Amino acid sequence: MGDSATFEFVVGHANYWLFSVLMMTGLYVVVARGNLVKKIVGLNMFQTSVFMLYISMGRVDGGTAPIFPVDMEIDPAVIYSNPLPHVLILTAIVVGIATTALGLSLIIRIREEFGTIEEDDILVAERILAAEDDKAHGEAMGGRT
Amino acid sequence: MLVVTALAIVRLRNLFAVAMLSGVFSLLSALLFVAMDAVDVAFTEAAVGAGISTVLVLGTLALTSRVEKPASHSPLLPLFVVFVTGAVLIYGTLDMPNFGSADAPAMTHVAPDYLKRTPEEIDVPNVVTAILASYRGYDTMGETAVVFTAGIGVLLLMSGLRRRREDDDDDDDDADADAQGAEEEGGVY
């Protein structure tokens, strides 16, 4: 009895765990990888796993897609899955592609300005720029020379 | 399969392969959406995730570089952060209802109401369309505003690109011309 309950629990929650693992893979790419394009791809992965989490919450056993027959003769015995998460995620997908596009164009500008899309190189270049600024204007600003 | 694709994205250094694999990832997730009865989401994901975003990433790669440099710092701290976050997330799921259970809180609030009222009030067969365009029309309007803003942002960021490129080319041409002139002068003398 206890074993079957545990089994049911594990099967019923395996979807959440799978999506958590995918989410964390995406987060790892965002945090640990220095390449900006790869960071965006990781962010997309993270996003998609959040979508999957939401959609899996709207799923009902034995249910079907929330689309009625065209003649609108609705059979009360048919179970439909929850349409609300679908709507929210449709909106989220479109907003996600908008942010992706914006991020990628920012990357192109960064590449133009610094000649690289690696985070480490950008940090180095920024430090050099800041040092030059200090040298040029530091005295006028009343600080370092 | 999703996990394998995700791990391959983490490991690979070739950004072209990463872009393609992210398209594969989107397609697989679209399949999963179909399996979970979310057909509208599935075809949006297939079109947007696997189509447009792959094209955008490829375009970016064409304008930047194609190979990632190896990481310079150790991955231990990020790994630690990721594992802690993952453990907290999984701990959070322990209170969740079982997958597919019909008496979950998400099923008992407004969702049955939408399903019941859509045939009477909206008379559209697809409930997702009815909610998207009617009950939650303001959400969709906000989404359009976001897309519009992002489009303007992209245009502003990219607008100077060609002009600056041409300026650079002009400089190069001038330099070439100077070099040629110098050679000719050298020839004369």
Nearest to residue B49, comparing CAs of A21, A93, A102? Answer: A93
Taking each helix axis as running N to C, give the angle between helix B2-11 and helix A36-57, from 0 to 180 degrees, rounded to the nearest 10. Answer: 160
- pLDDT, one tens digit per residue, over B120-170 is 777 777 888 888 888 888 888 999 999 999 999 988 888 877 677 667 666
- Answer yes or no: is B180 within a domain: yes
As given in the structure block, the two tokens for residue B32 are: 């999963």
- Answer yes or no: is A133 within a domain: no
- Answer yes or no: is B169 within a domain: yes
CATH number at residue A53: 1.10.287
Residues of A within 8 A of B86 (CB-CB) are 20-21, 23-24
For residues A98 and B188, which has the higher predicted lDDT (pLDDT)?
Answer: A98
Residues of B within 8 A of A109 (CB-CB) are 157-158
pLDDT at B27 over 80: yes
Q: What is the mean pLDDT of each run of 10 residues along chain A (145 residues)?
A: 77 85 89 87 91 86 79 76 87 91 90 82 87 80 60
pLDDT at B177 over 70: no
pLDDT at B174 over 70: no
The amino acid present at B28, given as its one-letter code, is: L
Contacts of B13 (CB under 8 A, 6+ apart): B67, B68, B70
For residues B53 and B11, which has the higher predicted lDDT (pLDDT)?
Answer: B53
- Answer yes or no: is A144 within a domain: no
Residue A79: DSSP 8-state: -
The HSE-up count of residue B13 (CA atoms within 13 Å, CB side) is 6
Cβ-defined contact of A83 to B32 (cutoff 8 Å):
no
- pLDDT, one tens digit per residue, over B65-112 is 777 777 777 778 888 888 999 999 888 888 888 887 777 777 777 777
- Answer yes or no: is B179 within a domain: yes
pLDDT, position A100: 92
State whether residue B101 sits within 8 Å of chain A by CB: yes
pLDDT, position A113: 82
Cβ-defined contact of A48 to B36 (cutoff 8 Å):
no
- Answer yes or no: is B20 within a domain: no
- What is the number of domains present in chain B? 1
Cβ-defined contact of A8 to B125 (cutoff 8 Å):
no
- Answer yes or no: is B188 within a domain: yes
The amino acid present at A55, given as its one-letter code, is: I
pLDDT, position B170: 64
**Residues 115-144, chain B: which have Cβ within 8 Å of A?**
115, 118-119, 123, 125-128, 131-132, 136, 139-140, 143
pLDDT band at residue B176, thresholds of 50, 70 and 90? very low
State whether residue B24 sits within 8 Å of chain A by CB: no
- Answer yes or no: is A138 within a domain: no
Cβ-defined contact of B107 to A87 (cutoff 8 Å):
no
- Answer yes or no: is B159 within a domain: yes
Boundaries of domain holding B163: 140-189
- What is the number of domains present in chain A? 1
As given in the structure block, the two tokens for residue A42 are: 């990781």
Query: d(Cα A13, Cα B97) in Å, to the nearest integer?
Result: 8
Cβ-defined contact of A81 to B37 (cutoff 8 Å):
yes
Cβ-defined contact of B125 to A70 (cutoff 8 Å):
yes
